[in-house]
Amino acid sequence: QKEVEQNSGPLSVPEGAIASLNCTYSDRGSQSFFWYRQYSGKSPELIMFIYSNGDKEDGRFTAQLNKASQYVSLLIRDSQPSDSATYLCAVKSSGDKLTFGTGTRLAVRP
């Protein structure tokens, strides 16, 4: 079982729709959770982070965390073509290193 699992996609949504990206993790002791956006050939860019159960909103982005289900998600409202990228879920368990999923590719259709 992979430590952090994501559906590789591609997830295709029309412009203006809500994109829902999901991630599960195996270590129940995980403390903090991060979403990064990565455009092709570029480095990861931090989008959201969440430490407590529940929802955290920032503009068009909402991160959701459910530690009991070991599940974290990212919602993107009013999706734009510029949101088309790979979204990486990262989890911090013991120590200070991030463990990443393989990423979900999002395609927003104009």
Partner 1 sequence: DTGVSQNPRHKITKRGQNVTFRCDPISEHNRLYWYRQTLGQGPEFLTYFQNEAQLEKSRLLSDRFSAERPKGSFSTLEIQRTEQGDSAMYLCASSLENYQPQHFGDGTRLSIL
CA 25 to the chain's CA centroid = 12
| Shortest reach from residue 98's CB to partner 1, in Å | 6
| Shortest reach from residue 50's CB to partner 1, in Å | 11
Q: Which of 37, 101, 106, 108 binds partner 1 (CB under 8 A)?
A: 101
> Three-state SS for 13?
strand
Residue 57: CB partners within 8 Å, gap ≥ 6? Answer: none
- Choose between 34 and 65: whose C-beta lies nearer to partner 1: 34
Asked if 25 is part of the footprint of partner 1 (rule: CB under 8 A), the reply reads: no
